[in-house]
C-alpha cells in the first residue's frame, strides 16, 4: 500500500537541496523572505502542466523575487533534455527532481517510490508558502484545471509580503548598546587599517567536505584576523560581561565558547555586501549557535543586517552596539553605498557544541583550520 507524507497548511515547508536549472545544489531554505509557490507538475509534456506554467508566467508582477517566486518541480528527464521549461529571471525557477527527493518530501510521490520506478503515479500539487516558508495553502490539480483559477485567486488576495500576518513582524534578535567603548572600537579599526585585511569567502559543503569558496556576487568583504592575545582577551572579557548574560536572559542558553576574532570591513568602493545565508549549514559550521555583529563605527550608508523571513526591516547598531541572533536565521547584509562599515563578528556556542565541532574535524576541507578544543 502506498503511503504519502502529509504536508498541510500551518506546517513548516520541508527544506531540501536539489539540482535546479541553474544550480547543481540549490538550497531551498534561501528562498525565504517572499511568498513562494511550488508546483509539482510531474512533466511539462502534459497539457495541464503547460497551462499551469503559462498561468503563473502571466503574473510577472507577483513573481518578481520581491513579492513572490515560483519553483516548478519536474520528475521527467525529458523536460530538461528537450528544454521544455527553463528559468526566467526574476521569479521563475525549476528543480530537476528526477530522483524524487523533493516530491516524496511534499507528498507528491509515495514514500515507497524508488528513483528508477517506472509507471509511478505522481500526485500533482500546488503549495503556497509564506515568507518564513510555512505552508499557507495546498491545492491539488483538478481534472477540469480549476486549480489554476483557485491558485491565482488566492495569490490575488494575499496581503503585502511585509505584512503577511496582518501586522509588522519583528525578527527574534537582541539589540545591545555599549558592548564596546568608543576607544576600543577605534583600537580595532586601527588594527584593520594597519593591515588592510584579506578578501574573505564563505563556507559551502562540497563533496562531503566543508570548504571556503569565493563569489563576489554572493559576498564581498575584507577581514583582519586579530592575533594579539591581549586584544583577544579584551574582546572576550567584554562579551562575558555584556553579551553572555543577555543571551542567557533571553534564550536560557549558557555561552561558554567564542569562535573567531576578526575585524571586518564592508567598503563602498568594493560594493561590499553579503547575500541571504545561514551561518550553520555545513558540518564545519554546525556547532555555531549565535552570531554577533558589533558595529565599530556609524559613518556609512547601507551595510545593514536584515532577516528576510521576518520582513523587510533592517538593523544598524550604533557604534559599539551589537545585533545578536541565532545562526539558523536567514540574514543578509545590504550593499554599503557610502563609506566603510567596520564590525567585529564572532560566533558563540557552548561545550556541547564544542564536542560537535571537534567531531566534525574530519569533514573539513583543505585550508579550513581544524578545531583543537583547547581554546574558544
Domain ranges in the chain are: 17-163, 174-363
| Cβ-contact 84, 45 below 8 angstroms | yes
Q: What angle do CA 269, 270, 273 make, to 5 degrees?
A: 120
pLDDT of residue 169: 80
pLDDT of residue 112: 83
| CB within 8 Å of 81: residues ≥ 6 apart | none
| CB within 8 Å of 193: residues ≥ 6 apart | none
| Cβ-contact 322, 332 below 8 angstroms | no
Cell of 161: 509580503
Cell of 342: 567596520
Work out the number of other CB atoms within 10 angstroms of the CB of residue 184: 18
For the 17-163 domain, the top CATH level (class) is alpha beta
Fold match between 17-163 and 174-363? no
pLDDT of residue 121: 79
* Intervals of the chain under pLDDT 70: 114-120, 372-376
Measured CA to CA, the distance from residue 280 to residue 291 in angstroms comes to: 10
H helices of the chain, in order, are 47-57, 77-81, 101-105, 146-156, 182-195, 229-242, 244-251, 351-359
Measured CA to CA, the distance from residue 353 to residue 253 in angstroms comes to: 12
Which of helix, strand or coil describes residue 65?
Answer: coil
| Cβ-contact 333, 304 below 8 angstroms | yes
Distances (CA, A) of 257 to 321, 352, 360: 20, 10, 16
List, in sequence order, every residue forming a beta bridge with 312; answer none if it has no partner.
none
H helices of 73-116, in order, are 77-81, 101-105
The residue among 331, 204, 343, 325 whose CA lies nearest residue 265 is 343
In CATH, what number does 174-363 get?
2.60.120.620
Measured CA to CA, the distance from residue 212 to residue 368 in angstroms comes to: 7
Task: Decide: residue 210, CB within 10 A, 0-12 exposed, 13-18 middle, 19+ buried.
Answer: buried
pLDDT of residue 118: 58
Measured CA to CA, the distance from residue 211 to residue 127 in angstroms comes to: 34
Measured CA to CA, the distance from residue 54 to residue 371 in angstroms comes to: 52
Amino acid at each position: 500500500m502506498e503511503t504519502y507524507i502529509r504536508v498541510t497548511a500551518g506546517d513548516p515547508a520541508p527544506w531540501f537541496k536539489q539540482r535546479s536549472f541553474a544550480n547543481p545544489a540549490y538550497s531551498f531554505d534561501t528562498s525565504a523572505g517572499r511568498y513562494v509557490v511550488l508546483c509539482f507538475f510531474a512533466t511539462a509534456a502534459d497539457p495541464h502542466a503547460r497551462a499551469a506554467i503559462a498561468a503563473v508566467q502571466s503574473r510577472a508582477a507577483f513573481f518578481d523575487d520581491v513579492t513572490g517566486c515560483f519553483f516548478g518541480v519536474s520528475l521527467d528527464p525529458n523536460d530538461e533534455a528537450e528544454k521544455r521549461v527553463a528559468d526566467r529571471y526574476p521569479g521563475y525557477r525549476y528543480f530537476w527532481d528526477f530522483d524524487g527527493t523533493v516530491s516524496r518530501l511534499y507528498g507528491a510521490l509515495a514514500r515507497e517510490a524508488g528513483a528508477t520506478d517506472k509507471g509511478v503515479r505522481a500526485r500533482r500539487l500546488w503549495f503556497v508558502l509564506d515568507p518564513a516558508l510555512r505552508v499557507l495553502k495546498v491545492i491539488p490539480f483538478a481534472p477540469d484545471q480549476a486549480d489554476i483559477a483557485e491558485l491565482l485567486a488566492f495569490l490575488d488576495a494575499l496581503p503585502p509580503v511585509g505584512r503577511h500576518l496582518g501586522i509588522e513582524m519583528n525578527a527574534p534578535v537582541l539589540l545591545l548598546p555599549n558592548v564596546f567603548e568608543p576607544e576600543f572600537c577605534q583600537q580595532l579599526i586601527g588594527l584593520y587599517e594597519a593591515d588592510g585585511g584579506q578578501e574573505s569567502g564563505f563556507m559551502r559543503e562540497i563533496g562531503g567536505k566543508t570548504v571556503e569558496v569565493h563569489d563576489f556576487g554572493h559576498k564581498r568583504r575584507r577581514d583582519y584576523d586579530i592575533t594579539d592575545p591581549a586584544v583577544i582577551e579584551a574582546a572576550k572579557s567584554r562579551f562575558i560581561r555584556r553579551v553572555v548574560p543577555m543571551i542567557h536572559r533571553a534564550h536560557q542558553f549558557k555561552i561558554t565558547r567564542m569562535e573567531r576574532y576578526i575585524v571586518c570591513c564592508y567598503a563602498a568602493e568594493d560594493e561590499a555586501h553579503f547575500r541571504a545565508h545561514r551561518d550553520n549549514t555545513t558540518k564545519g559550521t554546525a556547532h555555531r549557535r549565535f552570531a554577533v555583529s558589533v558595529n565599530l563605527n556609524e559613518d556609512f550608508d547601507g551595510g545593514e543586517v536584515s532577516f528576510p523571513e521576518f520582513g523587510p526591516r533592517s538593523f544598524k547598531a550604533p557604534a559599539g552596539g551589537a545585533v545578536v541572533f541565532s545562526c539558523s536565521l536567514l540574514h543578509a547584509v545590504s550593499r554599503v553605498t557610502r563609506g566603510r562599515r567596520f564590525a567585529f563578528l564572532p560566533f558563540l556556542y557552548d561545550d556541547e557544541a564544542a564536542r560537535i565541532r571537534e567531531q566534525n574535524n574530519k569533514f573539513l576541507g583543505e585550508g579550513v583550520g581544524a578545531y583543537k578544543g583547547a581554546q574558544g
